[in-house]
Structures are given as structure tokens and as C-alpha cells.
Amino acid sequence: MNQNLRINGERLLSRLAEMAQIGATEKGGVCRVALSDEDKVGRDLFIEWCQAANCDIAVDQIGNIFARRNGSNEDSPAILTGSHLDSQPTGGKFDGVYGVLAALEVLETLNDHDITTIHPLEIVSWTNEEGARFAPGLTGSGVYTGVFDLEEAYACVDKDGFILGEELLRIGYAGIAAPGGRSIKAALEIHIEQGPILEEEGIPIGVVHGVQGMYWYDLVFEGQEAHAGTTPMERRKDPVAAAVSVIEKIYQLNDIYAPQGRATFGDFIVEPGSRNTVPGKLTVTLDYRHPEEAVLRTVDSEVRSIVDAESETRRIKGWVDEIWYMPPVTFSAECIAAVQHAADQLGYPSREMVSGAGHDAMYLAQVAPTGMIFIPCDNGLSHNELENAQSEDLIAGGNVLLHAILELANPQVN
């Protein structure tokens, strides 16, 4: 295969800029949360581009979009590549969408040069990766791989009472194909790092060997509503007081597992939510991550013990609802090697990495050989409107994806 082959960088950057106008925010980011009107517009535009590139389109029952380019051996399993188009409410222009549009650029580059791969190629855009509207995230890939039940996914409700299955129908992306079962030889996902390591070290390519594991919890504290002015502090059954102490203890617990442990309390739901009423109930979300499963299991046990003990001390009810668990993932040696070979052949410095963020590749790795490529992002910033990536890094990543896919799609016969 031609080692001088490169993607059309200007086309990739232009498409990224055009997609960023859908749901654009004042600070330069995007709000294109899953199954919103903006998500529909982004999906429609992506399909329009794929059809112009002569791809066959399929949409499954959870709304995952597959765009297929035929290979010379149509009976052989496909090479799958892609990511997601949905964003955080105040998200960036590259999280997810870069992986989808870089995949499209790879296919169009092959079209431009009349290159036919042996294995078919498929781009995928997964539904509700972010989990910002419907929890948990990674819904599309989770249903595809059998981790989540389709009907249970349909029943997910957002904060405003909208139901995932109904929203999927409303925007016209409840497909007819049953999720899963596609024949996949290997899968690659390219993504901005969402962390500072590559930028700080001046390295354009991260060869991702796996993803750290994670727990999502709701920590629930149920006390007693009371008047803010007349109820003495010692008489209160205050769920906030319990939660504050629990949060402090969990931070202290996480210090034991530094620097790899990650504890995040991302959302607080206070009921009834009145300024002059001691709350009756408080729900706090906890996202906990670590690359070692043994540590995750230990922290899980400790978190439950902390909540139980503090609830008893504060004379309230407290419990832990486990929303989601994803064990650490190790990627395919074949896919890792293809990415490393591509970076080496193209002359891009690279380093091995473990992803701190969750990605659809985590679930896909359960059903197919899978790998990931990272590129730097400015200041390691993501899930933020100021998220940015340099043009040369976006293009370098696209070139590595192109050559890694060519290696996987055209295996050498020894």
C-alpha cells in the first residue's frame, strides 16, 4: 500500500467546522445532546455526506448509524470505525464527532484514489454515548453488544420526563435492524485525548492499550423536611450534612489510590429544593474510575460502608444505587499493533496510553478486536465549550487511522 497516501486535511477540517455549527454555543462549543433536534440535524448531515461518498446506510433499533463501503470480498467481516455525534450540554467541537468524521474522511480518501480494500469498511455513529441526557451513557454500543437490554434502554427518562424510545421515534431514528450481529473483523475509534498528557509531552499520537474501569452511583440521603428558621441544628435530620461528610470521606479514600483514582461528584438533586426548607432528600451522583479492577471493588465496598455509617450517625436513611459498572478493558494486540505501525511508518512520535475516559470502544471490545487512537487537545480540556484541537494533530490522527485501517483491511498473506 502507498506509504505516501494522506487524507484530505482541508476537507476534514471543513466538515468539522460545518458540523460544529449545529447546536453552536456562544463560547464556541456545541450543545447537541442525544436525540435532541440538534442531534437529528447532525445525524441527517452525516448521512447526507456518507451517501454522497457512495456508502450504504443502515440504522438499527437503538438509532446507531452504519455507513458501509464495499470491499473486494463482500463475504469477509468488516473493519468498523467511528464514534458518536451527540455532545454534552456545554460540550466541545471534537469530542466524538472527530472520530465519526475522520472515519468518513478515510473512506473518501480511498474513493479519491480508487483504492478498494479486501474487507468492507463501515463507519458507525453510536447513540447517546455521552449519557448527558439519558443515563447511563454508551447506550447505543451497550445495546449493540448486549450489555443493555433494548426495552430497558427505550424506557430511560431524562430530567424533563422525556423517554428515550419516544424521542428516538420523534427524530426519526428508530431503525428496523436488530442491534448487534454485524460481522466485524476489527474496530478502531479515534478521539481527542480529553487529558493533558500528549500535549504536555509534545506527542501527536496516543496508542491506546485499554480503558480504566468505572462505577456510576447515585448516593441517596433521605432525612426530614423542616423549617429553616425554627428547627435547631441538633434536631435536624439533614441529608445535606450527611452528604457533605460522605463526600469528604470519599475524597480521603481516593487519596489512598492516587494518582490513578478519580472521584467526581457531578450532580446534586435536592428535594424539595426550597431556599428556606431543610431538604428531605438529596441525591448525589458519584463517578469513580481506576485502571485496576481490584481497587474498584475495594472502593465499591468502602463507599457503601461510608454511606451506611454516616447515615446512621446523622439519623437519616442513606443508600447507594449502582447505576453502572464497567470493568477495565484491554484492547486487541492486533489493533494496537496496526496503530503503532501506522504512526511509525508516517513518522509521527507516539506513546502508549490507557484511556481515563469511557468510550464506545469499551463495549465493542467485548464482541470484536478493538483499538483506539488519541490525539492531543488544548490544555487537556474536554466536556467544555473551550475544547480545542490543533489542525495538524487532527490531520495526523486521520492519517494514522487511514493507514491502520488499510493494514487491518488488507491482511498480508505469508
Distance CA 370, CA 362 (A): 8
pLDDT, position 357 = 87
Element (H, E) at 110: helix 97-112
Rounded to whole angstroms, the Cα distance separating 374 from 334 reads 17
**Separation of alpha carbons 400 and 114, rounded Å:** 19
pLDDT of residue 1: 54
pLDDT of residue 413: 46
Other C-beta atoms closer than 10 Å to the C-beta of 76 total 16
How far apart, in whole angstroms, are the C-alpha atoms of residue 10 and residue 4?
17
Among the listed residues 324, 284, 331, 328, the one whose alpha carbon sits nearest the alpha carbon of residue 306: 284
pLDDT tens track of the chain, all 414 residues? 578 999 999 999 999 999 999 999 999 999 999 999 999 999 999 999 999 999 999 999 999 999 999 999 999 999 999 999 999 999 999 999 999 999 999 999 999 999 999 999 999 999 999 999 998 899 999 999 999 999 999 999 999 999 999 999 999 999 999 999 999 999 999 999 999 999 999 999 999 999 999 999 999 999 999 999 999 999 999 999 999 999 999 999 999 999 999 999 999 999 999 999 999 999 999 999 999 999 999 999 999 999 999 999 999 999 999 998 989 999 999 999 999 999 999 999 999 999 988 899 999 999 999 999 999 999 999 999 999 999 999 999 999 999 999 999 998 743
Cα(154)–Cα(168) distance, rounded to whole angstroms? 8
Q: Is the peptide bond before 259 cis (omega within 30 degrees of 0)?
A: yes
What proportions of the chain, in percent to the nearest 5, are helix, strand and coil? 35, 25, 40
Which CATH code for domain 9-212+328-409?
A: 3.40.630.10
CB 372, CB 189: distance < 8 Å: yes
**Residue 24 bridge partners (DSSP):** 30
The residues pairing with 220 across neighbouring beta strands, listed in sequence order, are 283, 319
- Please give the Cα distance from 367 to 373 (Å, whole number): 19
Arch. (CATH architecture) of 213-326: 2-Layer Sandwich (3.30)
Say if residues 173 and 63 touch (Cβ distance below 8 Å).
yes
- Give me the residue spans of the domains in the chain: 9-212+328-409, 213-326
